[in-house]
Amino acid sequence: MAWFARSKQEPVVDEEVVEEPRLPEPPALNEAGLRSVADHTAYLLSLVDPLRPFGMTLLEGWNQVVCEDIDSMISVPAFSTAKVDGYAVRSSDLTEDDGRLVETLDVVDAVDDRLPIGAALPVQPGDVLPAGANAVLPGTFATVEEGRATLIEKVEAGEYVRAAGEHLALGTRLLSQGDILTERAIGLLAGAGIDKAMVRPRPRVVVISSGDNLVEPGVELAPGESADANSYMIAAAARAVGATVFRVAVHTNDRETIKQVITDQLIRADLVISATGGSREDYEAMVAVMKEIGLVDEANVAMSPGSTQTFGLVGDEQVPMLMLPGNPVSAYVTFHVFAKPLLRQLMGADTGPRPGRAIATGTLRSNEGQLHLLRGQTVSDQKVTHVTQVTSPYALGQLAESNVLIVMDEHVELVRPGEAVKVWFLDGE
Amino acid sequence: MAWFARSKQEPVVDEEVVEEPRLPEPPALNEAGLRSVADHTAYLLSLVDPLRPFGMTLLEGWNQVVCEDIDSMISVPAFSTAKVDGYAVRSSDLTEDDGRLVETLDVVDAVDDRLPIGAALPVQPGDVLPAGANAVLPGTFATVEEGRATLIEKVEAGEYVRAAGEHLALGTRLLSQGDILTERAIGLLAGAGIDKAMVRPRPRVVVISSGDNLVEPGVELAPGESADANSYMIAAAARAVGATVFRVAVHTNDRETIKQVITDQLIRADLVISATGGSREDYEAMVAVMKEIGLVDEANVAMSPGSTQTFGLVGDEQVPMLMLPGNPVSAYVTFHVFAKPLLRQLMGADTGPRPGRAIATGTLRSNEGQLHLLRGQTVSDQKVTHVTQVTSPYALGQLAESNVLIVMDEHVELVRPGEAVKVWFLDGE
């Protein structure tokens, strides 16, 4: 049927179509059928908005991202003051004719509002100049008799004056949107008369620990059980990024229970991070719950370890939720590759990792087409940082021995001893 | 008089000598009459002890210094389990004679306490081995008839078993005294069944702001007044080092008032830091109070800025108290040179600064014999970090533009463009 042909049919009443809510189209897969780490990161970041800024006192807002341009509220110094003993004057009153000073000035005791034209007010160093005065005539530049000052030498506007705003003019731009409220930025604002700033708050992270076979550390283990380590490690890691962290353990795979706990926690979560035990059942229970309460993206990412990635927007408020793999090394690497940028996105901060470089002490191997994150330990002297791969078989021990992730990019297959390699430092930045 | 000679004199009753309490002998001055920065630092550190450790939960203790050697409380895995379908056995029951297997085993349904000698218990992968069993005989290694297993092939101790402690043996040293409880150390402890650790608590710092001419930022300034910036900047800086900070403003030079406020605050202070305005009166009032309530060391230190250094042990508990100079740059540099090591000493952490290196973009000058700390801004690319001296005349603006202190050691007088220079990064480490 041609589009504009007149139809003789009865008009068709469209049924109301309720669109199934879903996540935006995910990025295309590469030739190996995997999503690249860069694509996956960009996709997750596109699903999360920075938190709304709050007005906070300077110390509350410390180390957070400023969300406004901030200008000085005062001049520093706030007032123009005399630098020497003498007389506050208007420089325009001090005229010359043929090189001779012709004016005398009335020496006044006090000034009501503005310095009258032709008047001079005695001042000492540090005294605030009255309105209208723009220079100080040193005492030695005039002779005074019967309340009249006869000039010996004149001064120009601004001479012998410490001018208001000399250090900082009212309205000077101090910080711009996106700046970090460092300790020194706090000093700058306070000195400029500013006691509050609009900053993005610290994200609130709920770390949910689930899995039938996990128990709290310190509890005696029954056969098949292990002590929950991942959720503690990840809670501390989220705190290190600057988040306020709530760790909630629900050591079960019962889907109703998990669902109830997550739903209860959403009220205080800007990001939910799931940490589970290592079993398939743990993983499946959590994914099933995520799908029940939200929109879920499951991806095989070109990354090792941590290729299985699951992310969702859950609950009525579509709170972002990142599920970590069960293996401690995979979970930890996933945190640093994906959770950290998400947290920094929530904080309104730069989301890119800031890699360092180190010299490999041994041969490092990777597979082309895959971001490979090896665990490493660095030793630095004044001149150079060396890095050695850590390969201890016990996952948590391997992490504890490491202080960097060695970043083998997609195009890197081999790094030889003595060659430089990219590293992410794990403690502080 | 010989020591053991019998005395005929009346015994001499010594008068009780009350020794005036005083600080230990300070270090000697150098040829210029100044105390070196290294000597002054060592002297201050000798007057301050690390805080007493507390038992804290893992997340409370995050990023603090561990004060005990910690060994694993469990084996990981906790139990020996079967890797294959078969029979849990004692390898010593499987004997050979002339290369022929001679034993048969009783197949039992269950084990009460220990596996009886000569018994075999059917197991599946993951099943915990009973006490006494040390190997798994795969099902294909025996024929079973009427409750007796006849061996086809034997196994050695440990074969087909995932052994308890294979990843981590009970009692393995995990952390040693002095280690930092990083996020990965937390994972290691939790996985080893440990939920608490003895760590040194965060130091509590009271920042006292005094001075007649200071007002809170946001309050309208009268002539001669300025907005208090130093105490805010220093409070944030102490927090960045890891302290819990209380900022207390007492904007007066009235000695009784200052004394009362400091005395009241000592109960919650592991370190008091005084920040004042820039006037001589501010400085003198605070020093007078320190001398009244404590033992005070005043030194001229071979350092620029910040050569005037005042430190005391105040109150009945001899709480350390560091007085910062009034100039914002001097105060900030003093914080980084002296307060930061003191805080790290309280935390039981390594007190030495961890300098980086950068390439100077311009000529940097210093005076021999003096530690000179210039303010600098770095720009980094993948390969190299360049540093440029910041010389803006407004002190707080100069600090806000900087992200490093450029460290010109005592023997350095000149650094030329393109030469490397030591820097302390100011944000995070």
pLDDT digits (tens, 9 = 90+) for B384-413: 899 999 999 999 999 999 999 999 999 999
Q: How far apart are CA B288 and CA A193, in angstroms?
A: 29
Final residue of a structural domain among B136, B162, B188: B162
Interface subset of B 386-425, CB within 8 angstroms of A: 393-397, 399-400, 402
A323 lies in some domain: yes
Tell whether the model's pLDDT for residue A45 goes beyond 60: yes
Final residue of a structural domain among B133, B162, B191: B162
Say what the pLDDT of residue A428 is. 67
Final residue of a structural domain among A283, A318, A346: A346
Which CATH number is A105's domain given? 2.170.190.11
Q: Domain residues for A98?
A: 81-162
pLDDT digits (tens, 9 = 90+) for A266-296: 999 999 999 999 899 999 999 999 999 999 9
Residues A41 and A67 in one domain: no
Residues A375 and A409 in one domain: yes
Using CB atoms, which residue from A76, A77, A400 is nearest to B185?
A400
How many domains does chain B fold into?
Answer: 4
Residues A342 and A312 in one domain: yes
B410 lies in some domain: yes
Residues B251 and B312 in one domain: yes
Write out chain A residues lying below 8 Å of B74, CB-based.
221, 227
Residues B45 and B67 in one domain: no
Least Cα separation, residue B181 to chain A (angstroms): 10
B351 lies in some domain: no
Which CATH number is A173's domain given? 3.90.105.10
* Cβ within 8 Å, pair A167-B394: yes
B17 lies in some domain: no
ipTM of the complex: 0.89
Look at residues B316, B227, B241, B225 and name the one whose alpha carbon lies nearest to residue B273.
B241
Q: How far apart are CA A369 and CA A366, in angstroms?
A: 9
- Dihedral class, residue A247 (left if φ above 0, else alpha if ψ from -120 to 50, else beta): beta
Residues A238 and A174 in one domain: no
Residues B300 and B234 in one domain: yes
* Cβ within 8 Å, pair B227-A183: no
Of the listed ranges A310-314, A399-403, B273-277, B352-356, the least confidently predicted one is B352-356
B181 lies in some domain: yes
* Cβ within 8 Å, pair B232-A186: yes
β-strand pairing of B364-365 with B414-415: antiparallel
Tell whether the model's pLDDT for residue B28 goes beyond 60: yes
Interface subset of A 62-121, CB within 8 angstroms of B: 62-63, 73-74, 76-79, 81
Residues A313 and A331 in one domain: yes
Residues B327 and B376 in one domain: no
Which CATH number is B388's domain given? 2.40.340.10
Residues A62 and A192 in one domain: yes
Say what the pLDDT of residue B354 is. 80
Which residue of chain B is at minimal alpha-carbon distance from A61?
A: B236
B3 lies in some domain: no
Please give the backbone phi and psi of residue B81, each rounded to the nearest 5 degrees, phi first: -130, 160
Write out chain B residues lying below 8 Å of A225, CB-based.
78
A179 lies in some domain: yes
Tell whether the model's pLDDT for residue B59 goes beyond 90: yes
Q: Kindly give, in sequence order, each residue whose CB lies less than 8 Å from that of residue A40, ignoring residues fewer than 6 positions away.
A: A27, A299, A301, A309, A338
Alpha carbons within 13 angstroms on the beta-carbon side of residue B2 total 3
Residues A363 and A325 in one domain: no
Interface subset of A 11-40, CB within 8 angstroms of B: none
Give the number of other CB atoms < 10 A from CB of residue B314: 24
Report the SS3 class of residue B155.
coil
Tell whether the model's pLDDT for residue A352 goes beyond 90: no
B28 lies in some domain: no
* Cβ within 8 Å, pair A190-B228: yes
Residues B157 and B280 in one domain: no
